[in-house]
């Protein structure tokens, strides 16, 4: 009982901060996505392909969340976009407070599209609002068809599902139709994209969708 109460208070505080951050994004016309996935599903690779396609069209910034190291931030930095690294030192999710601190280093007035790359984890990032417009869930074909059934909260709280590594479909035990069926049974409103960062398939469609959501 005590533990439940404490956790609720933590989340209430988080939601309060998140709504302050959301107001800030609104005022600055910045479209914000919170990218969530398990480790290794390709969040940073999708981000790299996305920045490549869009960086000459809109101003992009990135907040990179990692448990340790700034390796992903270094990958993103090569594309000459502003990137702020949050190292959680073992923490398994980002919180609004961390994002708020990171934003002190980003001039939102300039930024039309902000990507927050969350820590690789399909469990608790589902419960932490970071002030984003929506959560983008990346799931790779190597992870199996049953992930939506095992981690329903993440699928319920996400608006977009990117099924990544579709180039590996011939080699892995994953039927993409079953995977989609499972995901949509949990959340029928999910918008689904299918991508491969190796062949570039699907990246264009995903980027067009982003451009459709940018507020100028
Ligand atoms: Mg990463
Ligand atoms: Zn966590």
CA of 91 to the centre of ligand 2 (A): 6
CA of 1 to the centre of ligand 1 (A): 35
Confidence of residue 2 (pLDDT cuts 50, 70, 90): low
Of the listed ligands, the closest to the CA of 36 is: 1
CA of 94 to the centre of ligand 2 (A): 7
Contact by Cβ (8 Å): 175, 211: no
Q: Where are the domains of the chain?
A: 2-212
Of the listed ligands, the closest to the CA of 74 is: 1
Fold designation for 2-212: Rossmann fold (3.40.50)
Mean pLDDT value across residues 64-70: 93
**pLDDT tens digits along 46-63:** 999 999 999 999 999 999
**pLDDT tens digits along 114-164:** 999 999 999 999 999 999 999 999 999 999 999 999 999 999 999 999 999
Residue 207: partners with Cβ closer than 8 Å, 6 or more residues away: 50, 53, 54
Put the strands of the sheet holding 160-164 in their side by side order. 83-87, 60-66, 113-117, 31-36, 134-140, 160-164, 191-194
- HSE toward the beta carbon, residue 19, CA cutoff 13 A: 5
pTM: 0.94
Query: Is the pLDDT assigned to residue 16 strictly greater than 60?
Result: yes
Distance CA 85, CA 70 (A): 7
CA of 67 to the centre of ligand 1 (A): 10
């Amino acid at each position: 009982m005590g533990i439940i109460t404490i956790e609720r208070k933590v989340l209430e505080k988080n939601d309060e901060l998140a709504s302050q951050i959301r107001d800030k994004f609104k005022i600055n016309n910045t479209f914000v996505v919170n990218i969530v996935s398990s480790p290794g599903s390709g969040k940073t690779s999708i981000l790299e392909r996305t920045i490549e396609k869009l960086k000459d069209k809109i101003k992009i910034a990135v907040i990179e969340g990692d448990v340790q190291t700034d390796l992903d931030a270094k990958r993103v930095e090569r594309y000459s976009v502003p990137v702020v690294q949050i190292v959680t030192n073992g923490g398994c999710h980002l919180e609004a407070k961390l994002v708020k601190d990171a934003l002190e280093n980003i001039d939102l007035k300039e930024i039309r599209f902000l990507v927050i790359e969350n820590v690789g984890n399909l469990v608790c990032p589902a419960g932490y609002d970071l002030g984003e417009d929506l959560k983008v869930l990346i799931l790779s074909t190597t992870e199996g068809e049953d992930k939506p059934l095992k981690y329903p909260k993440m699928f319920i709280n996400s608006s977009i599902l990117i099924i990544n590594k579709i180039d590996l479909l011939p080699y892995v035990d994953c039927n993409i139709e079953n995977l989609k069926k499972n995901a949509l049974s949990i959340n029928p409103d999910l918008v689904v994209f299918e991508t491969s960062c190796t062949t570039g398939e699907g990246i264009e469609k995903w980027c067009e969708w982003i451009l459709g959501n940018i507020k100028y």
